[in-house]
Structure 1
């Protein structure tokens, strides 16, 4: 870390400020739905060759939110990011060995069936199988996963993980992957319907090759974040 901090004419220390985003998506890998995070391999030092989250400096004339979207756009089509929120600020003096850097961290969500084009060095990695990440980005992922799992209980944030329409079985698989534990489809449907989050589309899926009843299709009533039950917890079955 730099020994002599740059200061302005009044003697106030000047620090680099960056945005860091943990973008999560439930993806189908090896016949299983898994919660994944977007990372990219770094070209330069520090941590050359290591994976890191989308991040970068806040430029003069832009807000931190604008910087987050700009750096995300270099890794993924930001129109596919259905939810983005600030998680907090990181200010550990040693978090960047190159220079004193303060970071504002974000959680971003992408719907499960979306498959945006990625740069060659970027990829999706399951959050439960992460390699060592640069800087403090592993703990940023931990915070993002914790925030998502909490909000799945007391808000309708599941809309940001799902396509516009889906079956209850598809919804349940996505929730199980995101929460990290099993929930019953019937219980999930009952809870989310009681909270006013879900509505039937009136459409059904075609019957499968093995027969059976066609599955009803649903959608989230709101595709913006709404607190539906601030004291609720979705418990494992």
Structure 2
């Protein structure tokens, strides 16, 4: 593994990758963590990541290190923040952190196909152990960013299959936000949105069939400003 150095500063890239896991009492927002195999913080849990290669861009490094450490490839990826406090590591390390989303239906499929390392475990974001370095602080910031962004973008698409019901979409919002939403108000808000398109399909079950929707691919998942071009 290579590193970028200058004035004794090393540059690393880490990723907070969110997915939803179904539990009997409801869905839970979770992230994968990697148990460190060497010092510093040997045997402690940490975010997946690694050193920035000398000839690669930051996003390429984020995707590479995420795949190498967890066997996962994100549905969506965005730069979160750069963390560079002097005392965050025994040596001076600046971490460029990305946050990512992965559809729950792809988690096990990717893990099985990629033969993910055994030192990777998924944790509930609201019940994390003490992490290496300043990674608890990083996760807290990533969760805050996700919960803020879900209210004004179609970011929930990164956690859903291609087609879904409005009830399933509302459940994603409720899991991310950590609170219940009024079903009628939620439906009225989204049915007129250009980002959401009805399909001809229906989800059948014990109740009346529910129409399936999909996101409009022509609408950006999140506003990246001038970088969208």
- The normalised TM-score by structure 2 is 0.86
Mapping of 1:19-38 within 5 angstroms?
19-38=13-32
Report the Cα offset of residue 24 of structure 1: 0.5
Spell out the pairing of 1:206-217 with structure 2 (5 A cutoff).
206-208=204-206, 212-217=207-212
- 1:82, CA displacement in angstroms? 1.3
Query: Hey, what does 1:129 align to over in structure 2?
Result: 127
Contact 1:172–1:184, Cα closer than 8 Å, also in 2: no
Deviations 1:51-86 (A, max 9, x none): 1111111111111211111100111331xx111111
> Are the structure 2 counterparts of residues 188 and 112 from structure 1 closer, same or farther at C-alpha, using a change threshold of 3 Å?
farther
The structure with more helix, counted as a fraction of residues: 2
8 A contact 1:17–1:103 mirrored in 2: yes
Q: 1:1-237 counterparts in 2 under 5 A? A: 13-74=7-68, 75-78=70-73, 81-97=74-90, 99-115=91-107, 116-117=110-111, 118-208=116-206, 212-222=207-217, 224-227=220-223
1:29-49, CA deviations, whole angstroms, 9 ceiling, x for partnerless residues? 344201101111111111111
Q: Larger C-alpha radius of gyration, 1 or 2?
A: 1
Change (3 A) 1:64 1:123: same
Q: Tell me the CA shift for residue 106 of structure 1.
A: 0.8
Runs of 4+ in 1 over 3 A off after TM superposition: none
Which structure 1 residue ranges, 5 or more long, are not aligned? 1-7, 228-237
Number of residue pairs the alignment of both structures matches: 211
For 1:199 and 1:55, the matched residues in 2 are separated by 36
Structure 1 vs Structure 2 CA RMSD: 1.7
How far 1:142 sits from its partner (Å)? 0.9
Stretches of structure 2 that go unaligned for 5 or more consecutive residues are 224-229
Query: Matches of 1:215 and 1:61 in 2, distance apart?
Result: 49
TM-score by structure 1 length? 0.84
For residues 83-114 of structure 1, the C-alpha deviation after alignment (integer angstroms, 9 at most, x for no partner) is 111111111011112x1101111110011322
